[in-house]
Amino acid sequence: MKALIVGAKGQLGRGLQATAPANAVLTCVGSDELDITRPEAVQAFVAQEKPDLLLNAAAYTAVDKAEQEEELALAINGTAVGTLASAAHAVGARFVHVSTDFVFDGLSGVPYAPDAPTGPLSAYGRTKLSGEQLAGPDALIVRTAWVYAPTGGNFVRTMLRLMGERPEVRVVADQIGTPTYAPGLAAALWTMAGAGVTGLYHYTDSGAASWYDFAVAIQEEGLAAGLLSQAARIVPIPTSDYPTPAKRPHYSVLDKATTYAALGGPTPHWRANLRIMIDAIRAEG
């Protein structure tokens, strides 16, 4: 199986490479090698490679910056998805696209099902919803949330750094979601794509947490692993005390029942995957 990974240098892109099945022959490109906002370049590249599977891990993810750069975010998160889907269709390739919990308004009191009404609060959410709509009826579209990995910029690595530098960190406690370990998401994408699954699905780790809960767990695991030498004071704060240009959903837990059916079982709990990630950082020294 020939697989083309677009956005290969990000957290998910690296996870896709690390978890690829043994029979996958990979072509991996980053934004410096393929500008997905240039339709002619995308069409020519995909026509040349002729993959059996095209996995789109590319995205504009600067949530706050997108409020001032919505046109650029839309070009990457929206328009380019349609281009990639069209190019994949032209060579008979299956298309896999990754979206986000930010397509929801956060007003639900129960986990969002894939067919729940959307209502993005931010430019980022709007552009990602556009990408879902342009991915095409034959695509596998997977929404996820709070993604982190041993490398790259993410909440876990930021918290470990701040906790090592400061006696106190302040963390939002009234936004509820679910952390997602990028390699686990990547492995699930391979499994679902390999089984020919199409349609809209949700994938995160199991359970739910606030950012504050997540930070507390990060410190506990960091101390246990020896990545932190002493505990910082973690102060829970409301969103109103940490204003940002982009509005975030207060509740964005995703219902994964259909995903569990497709995968043959539930995803690992977020706390278990956090420990795996911490151990990976420790092993790297």
State the CATH number of the domain containing residue 223.
3.40.50.720
Structural tokens at position 39: 């339709």
| Residues 6+ positions from 263 with CB-CB distance below 8 Å | 188, 191, 192
What's residue 109's pLDDT? 86
Residue 205 CA to residue 176 CA, distance in Å, equals: 13
Q: How many independent structural domains does the chain possess?
A: 1
Among residues 60, 112, 124, 201, which one is catalytic? 124
What's residue 285's pLDDT? 67
Parts of the chain with a pLDDT under 70: 285
The reply to whether 124 belongs to the active site is yes
Residue 213 CA to residue 207 CA, distance in Å, equals: 12
**What is the residue range of 134's domain?**
2-284
Beta bridge partners of 176: 210, 251
What's residue 205's pLDDT? 97
Nearest to 57 by CA among 142, 155, 124, 172: 142
What's residue 153's pLDDT? 86
